[in-house]
Structure 1
């Protein structure tokens, strides 16, 4: 059955509220304009996703911008990822994805909108794997900084953490440097912090939806096992991979043992778990906020920076820069054409 059409001139002049009356949910509309290639169905489409609250004229503005970039816009869809999220808009574009992605990142930064270029994104409807960073990703805090606060060395440790997450310091060395400052902090204080971990808004919703669709869920963290284990309980995760913080039974001794979970180890864990599950790369999703997450984000079928540092947002395949992590569902629910 042929798809309905919408004139490009109409699309390029309406705000998102007006378009909601013109475009039925979850239905693709071919875009009528003279420059469209004749054999569009023979090409692999690139998806340009635009999402967030109160988009206003951003849909129209992006449609016009896409016309100026290499590639050809063939269709548009307004779709609902979850009943708690406002509908998003996605364009089907035929062109060079890498070049388009760079242009779109700059467009998003200049206009304060959330958008992404996706090629063969993971599908919620098929089993998959989500591997997430923990600190400032699954939870809102950096655990090592909060432990340091308990020991009165917060400023010293937090400054090093910020440099490491921004990619200005090598992670393993910075971790050992920070952990050394935690020596003597009582375990009972660490346990109190462990039991008060604040989850990132939207992460519970994402995990619940993914579990319902037979996805596997895991943490790969440069943080510490006791905290990752608690998050595992809170979110009903399948597996965790984090660092071992040494103690003498009463206080921290200022060291970590075993192989440090750094950028390389996070990426290795994702690939090994994916292969163990027998999943295709395309059905893997990784999320994180720090520079030590970038390798993992690029090893996944789709890597998304979530409230990430500037370097991570700039280099990650996609990003959520504002709002709930439930917005991850936009990336997984683009309707089939």
Structure 2
């Protein structure tokens, strides 16, 4: 089947020709069923977040070819009934992964998302997910919301933005920001804690992972009261976050103990991997900020979720918009 003929196929025709979970290759006239090598070591390019017609599939094949990646097999699969089917393009050769920012720039213009993986984790085997909290597991930055209560939001948010973009040392920025929160009543912290907005899809994702014996943890530069609330909401196994000091039921403007910074996050992931006796391939780390990059690099799969451009550029893969349940696309590739 030529790319021209493929591009003329409707989404309905594609769905009828590509049976879910079945690998196929192109022949001159049709899709022909095939199999991947045992323990495939090539490159997986996964497109998701839309209904795929022939034109979109042909565009992806052409894009990959333009980057010297030959497509040897294609598979349409659906990790969850809550997600539209994805299309995976497999190349037998191991290639230098394309930059996630470049993949996103191409895919965004076509109305879908595209990531590349080489040794994807397997949902069916025990694994570890370590996640950032603020702007990852929840939609807000808790320190910025506390700052609203103290009428210092603009000052604190500006420092937060610099830290998340990697322009300011995280520990230094944390002490600067927390110092501005002195005097906030603990009752106001409790009100904020009890109204945390979860990131869309994170609850469903965690439920699926727990059903498959995955260990779930938070490693956050945020604060313990909020991390413990998220732990309760998502049934997480453990959390690591910073400790705010209170005196007379008010914030003192100080942080106690070891700061959970970029290195500490990576240490949490490494320690848990060892404790759980997992291979690196079965570890996943997700986050949105520069202080998540070291942790993400240490994981078998590090995914920027709704991340800043610098984070997307340096991650292994990126989910740039939509539900975090989409992480399942990267963990359920049929092999």
Q: TM-score, normalised by structure 1?
A: 0.91
**Cα shift at 1:30:** 1.9
Q: What is the distance in 2 between the residues matched to 1:232 and 1:281? A: 24
Q: What is the distance in 1 between the residues matched to 2:107 and 2:99? A: 10
Query: Residues 42, 151 of structure 1: CA spacing in aligned structure 2 closer, same or farther, 3 A cutoff?
Result: closer
Q: 1:164-179, aligned counterparts within 5 Å?
A: 164-179=163-178
**Cα shift at 1:99:** 4.5
Q: Contact 2:50–2:111 at 8 Å: present in 1 too?
A: no
**Cα shift at 1:70:** 1.4
**Could you report, residue by residue, the CA deviation over 1:211-240 in whole angstroms, capped at 9, with x for unpaired residues?**
000000000000000100000000000010
Q: Hey, what does 1:202 align to over in structure 2?
A: 201
**Cα shift at 1:314:** 1.3
**Cα shift at 1:162:** 0.9
Query: Secondary structure of 2:61's partner?
Result: helix
Q: Hey, what does 2:41 align to over in structure 1?
A: 44
**Cα shift at 1:95:** 3.4
Q: What is the distance in 2 between the residues matched to 1:92 and 1:260? A: 42
**RMSD over equivalenced CA pairs, Å:** 2.0
Q: What is the distance in 2 between the residues matched to 1:311 and 1:106? A: 14
Q: 1:1-40, aligned counterparts within 5 Å?
A: 10-32=5-27
Query: Secondary structure of 1:246's partner?
Result: strand
Query: Residues 9, 255 of structure 1: CA spacing in aligned structure 2 closer, same or farther, 3 A cutoff?
Result: same
**Cα shift at 1:41:** 7.4
Q: Hey, what does 2:327 align to over in structure 1?
A: 328
Query: Residues 99, 316 of structure 1: CA spacing in aligned structure 2 closer, same or farther, 3 A cutoff?
Result: closer
Q: Does 1:153 align with 2:152?
A: yes
Q: What is the distance in 2 between the residues matched to 1:208 and 1:42? A: 28
Q: Contact 1:101–1:116 at 8 Å: present in 2 too?
A: no
**Could you report, residue by residue, the CA deviation over 1:101-137 in whole angstroms, capped at 9, with x for unpaired residues?**
4653553355453111101100000000000000000
Q: Hey, what does 2:70 align to over in structure 1?
A: 72
**Cα shift at 1:322:** 1.2
Q: Hey, what does 1:87 align to over in structure 2?
A: 85
Segments of structure 2 that go 5 or more residues without pairing to the other structure are 29-35
Q: TM-score, normalised by structure 2?
A: 0.92
Q: What is the distance in 1 between the residues matched to 2:245 and 2:21? A: 52
**Cα shift at 1:19:** 1.0
Q: What is the distance in 1 between the residues matched to 2:215 and 2:40? A: 32
**Could you report, residue by residue, the CA deviation over 1:293-337 in whole angstroms, capped at 9, with x for unpaired residues?**
01111111101111111111111111111111110110001101x
Q: What is the distance in 1 between the residues matched to 2:254 and 2:304? A: 29
Q: What is the distance in 2 between the residues matched to 1:323 and 1:15? A: 25
Q: Hey, what does 2:283 align to over in structure 1?
A: 284
Q: 1:95-134, aligned counterparts within 5 Å?
A: 95-101=93-99, 104-108=103-107, 111=110, 113-134=112-133
Q: Contact 2:41–2:94 at 8 Å: present in 1 too?
A: no
**Cα shift at 1:167:** 1.0
Q: Hey, what does 1:189 align to over in structure 2?
A: 188
Query: Secondary structure of 1:134's partner?
Result: coil
Moved more, 225-234 or 7-16: 7-16
Equivalent pairs counted in the alignment come to: 326
**Could you report, residue by residue, the CA deviation over 1:29-70 in whole angstroms, capped at 9, with x for unpaired residues?**
02337xxxxx98797221000000244532221012222221
Segments of structure 1 that go 5 or more residues without pairing to the other structure are 1-5, 34-38
Q: Hey, what does 1:255 align to over in structure 2?
A: 254
Q: Contact 1:13–1:60 at 8 Å: present in 2 too?
A: no
Moved more, 273-282 or 48-57: 48-57
Q: Contact 1:313–1:319 at 8 Å: present in 2 too?
A: yes
